[in-house]
Structure 1
């Protein structure tokens, strides 16, 4: 499958990102000519939706804060309803470099999901302490489940192809860490092929980080619980990649 930007939707979940989202939208449009950009305003209390729309993005406003998982499920449904073949999740805080999007899309010819991995040889992004321990454990277990080496299973920078798009529009999890850990388990058990490519991360332009050092230990426990919860659910079956549509 050859993936083009014209058939790709960039989905940006955003919660109170008025300081950065407009610049990210403009950068996406400048560096990825022909691509469409959807900002899912996840119940923001600031002007995120207005500045994103003014920058040229389509905006989907959620009345309540559903978290990244709920925002992305809405984005997947929007993509499916509007005829897009692929979705690339890009953070609205400026950490993801749009120049890496074509690298992810290239791999969709042989995969259903492609992760932009922060710990695969590119850049100098570092995580320490309990959160790093959790990532190591998750990567080890999920590499076995997904049958491919994965070093960054909690990355929010990822490309989703047609089969996984149909799956996620209905079954994308909204629970804490479900958008990363559980989504990979669901996809792998459904027969999706998962790969990763090395990418570099940048510093946040604005907004508030989703984690801080005081929550690192709690993150470790929650990550393990999220994995156990994902493994406890029955698998969702899809046809072979070249078979009939789901």
Structure 2
């Protein structure tokens, strides 16, 4: 029997974390772990009161560090499938079992991402116009590099198999993880795909990337992609989770 885990990174999401946990429970058979990334509110206490494990960072590491902690937990506890679900309520848990079926039924697939921008995604929240412009730029760059269609490279609604868990537990981007993780998967010769999903606007709080910072964000992420093309990464040897060797990206 395969074991499934939902990783919920959360930073000051006290207003949404309980609803997020229960949304996952209502629509899937996934276990849940919350990674409290140095919150200063009651996020960790509320999550613990819902009866789920909570990994607490003593200070804020950022989304990449929080997600990697979740993958390390998944690897250490023998999970076969891991899903990322944002703690702010944007990701609709009704799509979880669709993602799982696609991952399970597609030979050779290691990661499936929920995309807001596939033609049959049927609307839903798609972020601001300035951020959509940046997403299109990143999607175009990554589609050329990976030689497959990428439409939503900033989506944090992602599911991976055991090989993806092994890879991301040991090497996960910290600065701009959603975009760079697509590259990481590609350079380790793992396969990714997208599935249309609807997303909601965040239930509480505000995004750290506002309209004034969108251009700055675009430039930094583009530079991060270029640097990502050059940096060396560990290679997880198939069949031996403990065996890691160094390999250059290009």
Is TM more than 0.5 here? yes
Partner Cα distance (1:68, 1:190) in 2: 22
Paired residue secondary structure (2:229): helix
2:221 to 213, 220, 223: 223
Corresponding residue for residue 213 of structure 1: 211
Partner Cα distance (1:187, 1:21) in 2: 29
The 8 Å contact of residues 189 and 236 in structure 1, kept in 2 or not, is answered as: no
State which drifts further: 164-173 or 124-133. 124-133
Corresponding residue for residue 58 of structure 2: 63
Corresponding residue for residue 232 of structure 2: 234
The 8 Å contact of residues 114 and 159 in structure 1, kept in 2 or not, is answered as: yes
Post-superposition Cα deviations, 1:38-79, rounded to whole Å, max 9, x if no partner, equal 000000001100001112221110111111100011000001
Q: Let me know the Cα RMSD of the aligned residues.
A: 1.6
Is 1:16 the counterpart of 2:2? The answer is: no
The 8 Å contact of residues 35 and 66 in structure 2, kept in 1 or not, is answered as: yes
Paired residue secondary structure (2:5): strand
State which drifts further: 12-21 or 229-238. 229-238
Displacement of 1:127 = 4.2
Query: Do the aligned partners of residues 230 and 49 (structure 1) sit closer, same or farther apart at CA in structure 2, a change above 3 Å counting?
Result: same
Post-superposition Cα deviations, 1:129-182, rounded to whole Å, max 9, x if no partner, equal 54333211211121232232110011010001111110110001212x1x1122
Corresponding residue for residue 169 of structure 1: 169
2:68 to 64, 73, 77: 73
Corresponding residue for residue 244 of structure 2: none
2:180 to 172, 179, 182: 182
Paired residue secondary structure (1:173): coil
Post-superposition Cα deviations, 1:187-246, rounded to whole Å, max 9, x if no partner, equal 11001001000100112111222221111111111121111121121354445xxx5334
State which drifts further: 128-137 or 93-102. 128-137
1:48 to 43, 52, 64: 43
The 8 Å contact of residues 130 and 219 in structure 1, kept in 2 or not, is answered as: no
Paired residue secondary structure (1:108): helix
- Can you give the 5+ residue segments of structure 1 that lack an aligned partner in the other structure? none
Partner Cα distance (1:133, 1:232) in 2: 25
The TM-score with structure 1 as length reference comes to: 0.90
Corresponding residue for residue 142 of structure 1: 142
Partner Cα distance (2:232, 2:66) in 1: 24
- Can you give the 5+ residue segments of structure 2 that lack an aligned partner in the other structure? 242-250
The 8 Å contact of residues 166 and 236 in structure 2, kept in 1 or not, is answered as: no
After TM superposition, list the pairs within 5 Å mapping 1:90-129 onto structure 2.
90-109=85-104, 110=107, 111-121=109-119, 122=121, 123-129=123-129
The 8 Å contact of residues 21 and 51 in structure 1, kept in 2 or not, is answered as: yes
